[in-house]
Structure 1
Amino acid sequence: MAALWLLLFSAGALFSSSNAQENNYNKLSESFKRGVDLALEKLHSHAGIQHHFLFLRSVLLSDIQSGFDVKYIYHHFYLKATNCPKGTVDSTGCQFRNDRPLIDCAVCYKTFRDEIEQEPKPYVHCVHKTTLTQEMKTTRVDHCNRMAYSNGAPTLLASTGND
């Protein structure tokens, strides 16, 4: 009887984890989804990547609406490897793998009517979470703050701590 409960619990956990990966992505606004898609496209274009990756969760979301349907977006999030090979089109059957490190990504870009603008050039930085250094984190923030967002508006990451 205990084995039956364990089997049912395991099946339920697998089902809920596959739905969780889709639900977390679907909860994002269109502006943030576009940045995740951009990062996934860049990641999957690398020859060394063997697995299909999916959005796991957001760490930090920031947007500044400067009016006239223009937003400046900063999104820090994790991607996680799945059991599907790179190039998988329909990822509904893909399950997260727990034997690979997370990919830590930060993206920043300007949108107009929820479409990413080409100028300033969108910034995408993804690296294995285990290799991310404090210097890399600082470089990300500095780069995003310098991306022509200083046109009299506040910077994306103006908050520096507890005040």
Structure 2
Amino acid sequence: MVAFLLVVLLIAGTLNSYDAQSDFNKLPEPYRRGVELALEQVNSHAGVQNHFLFFKSLSTHDIDAGFGAKYLYHHFLLKPTRCHKGTTDANQNKCPFRNDRPLIDCGMCYKTFHGVIEEEPKPYIHCVHKPTLTKEMISKRINTCNKMSYSSGSASVLLVKGTE
């Protein structure tokens, strides 16, 4: 009986990993580039010991500023893997997710021009372990992203209806 439950858990964990990879691949290219930028920042942080990978997208919002420019907001989760920090060419198949560590909640906003992330205004990336995320942090994310889009004279990124 215990062996059966163990097999079921292993299969469920494997399917969960494939779903996360599939969700990442389904993201539009500009959102994938944003996730990659956040992963680069998180995985290079001194306090991080495990390699993190994209887990799930919670919401996306965008506004078309015209002439090929867009402002994007993406709220997503990163999950630790069993691989150590610094692992190259990591994916869910090589580095399975851990379920004994907290997720990282990320909110980021950035400007793209023809799908490429612009350096100005500087992309705002805010990632924090989910248990420590506060309402004040969420408010700061929203205010920072709204200011970024307002500075260009366009509508607020978070006031535009996105995907939920």
Q: TM-score, normalised by structure 1?
A: 0.89
Partner of 1:101: 102
Partner of 2:46: 47
Residue 7 (structure 1) shift: 5.0
**Structure ranking higher in helix proportion:** 2
1:4–1:99 distance in 2 versus 1, CA, 3 Å:
closer
Structure 2 gap segments, 5+ residues each: none
CA contact (8 A) 2:50 2:80 kept: yes
Residue 32 of structure 1 aligns to which amino acid in structure 2? Y
Partner of 1:117: 118
* RMSD (Å) for aligned C-alpha atoms: 1.9
1:9-48 Cα distance to aligned partner (Å, 9 max, x none)? 2342232122122111111000101111111111111111
Residue 10 of structure 1 aligns to which amino acid in structure 2? L
The reply on whether 1:76 has 2:63 as its aligned counterpart is no
Partner of 2:20: 21
Secondary structure in 2 matching 1:147: helix
1: CA distance between counterparts of 2:98 and 2:10?
16
CA contact (8 A) 2:149 2:155 kept: no
**Runs of 4+ residues deviating >4 angstroms:** 2-5
Report how many aligned residue pairs link the two structures.
Answer: 159
Give 1 or 2 for the bigger CA radius of gyration. Answer: 1
Structure 1 gap segments, 5+ residues each: none
Residue 8 (structure 1) shift: 4.3
Residue 76 of structure 2 aligns to which amino acid in structure 1? F
Q: TM-score, normalised by structure 2?
A: 0.89
Asked which structure has the greater RCO (Cα within 8 Å, sep 6+), the reply is 2
Partner of 2:146: 145
2: CA distance between counterparts of 1:102 and 1:68?
37
